[in-house]
Amino acid sequence: MSKFAYLIVAAGLAFATSATSAQAAYGDAAACSANSRRPAMLVNVSGFKARSGSVRVQIYTSQNFLVKGQRVTRVDVPVVASTMPICVALPAPGTYAVAVRHDVNGNNKSGDWSDGGGFSRNPSLSLLHLKPSFGQVAVPVGNAPRAVSVVLNYRSGLSIGPAARS
C-alpha cells in the first residue's frame, strides 16, 4: 500500500474513533466511549417535534418498570438537536428498559398533551395502550455500551405516533 493510502486509512480511522466518542455528547459520555468496558446504554433519541424543553431518559429493571421513583437511573438534558445521543451509565450488566419523555415546554409536569415519549425497541402505542410490558421493551446489556434507538411519539387527535415531518 502506498504512503498516501496509509494516510487516508489513518485519517478514516481517526475520524471513526472521534465520531464514536462524539456520539455520546450528552449524559455520561465517558461510559459510552469507544474504549469503555462498563455497562451503559447509548440511547439515540430522535423524532423531536420541537427543539425546546428537555428530554428525560430513565432506565428500569423488570422489578421496577415504570414505577414512579423506582428507576435505576435517569438523565435529564435540554433539547438542542433533532436527534440526541444520550449516554446512561448502568450499575451492572443485565436486562433493562428505556423510557424517554420529551417535556416540550420544559415545565417538568407529566401528562401535558404536547409532551412526547417513547421506549426502547419502539413498541406500538395507542391512547388505550400507553405503557408496554417490560418484555416488549427489554434490552440486554453486557460489559460494554449498548446502542438503543428510541423514536418519540406524540398525541395527535385520537392517535399516537411520530411527529409529522414538515
Number of domains in the chain: 1
Look up the pTM and report it: 0.82
Which amino acid appears at position 55 of this protein? V
What value does the mean pLDDT take over residues 96-123?
Answer: 91
> What's the CATH code of the domain at 146?
2.60.40.1120
pLDDT(25) > 60: yes
Residues 6+ apart with CB under 8 A from 48: 55, 79, 81, 82, 83, 84, 102, 116, 152, 163
Of 45, 69, 75, 58, the C-alpha closest to 163 is 45
Task: Let me know if residue 68 belongs to a domain.
Answer: yes
pLDDT(4) > 50: no
Q: What is the pLDDT of residues 31-62, one digit of tens each?
A: 998 888 999 999 999 999 999 999 999 999 99
The overall average pLDDT reported for the chain is 84
* pLDDT number for residue 157: 84
Task: Let me know if residue 48 belongs to a domain.
Answer: yes
Torsions phi, psi for 109 (to 5 deg):
-115, 125
Task: Let me know if residue 163 belongs to a domain.
Answer: no
Task: Let me know if residue 160 belongs to a domain.
Answer: no
Domain, as residue range, for 38? 3-154
Q: What is the pLDDT of residues 72-86, one digit of tens each?
A: 999 999 999 999 999
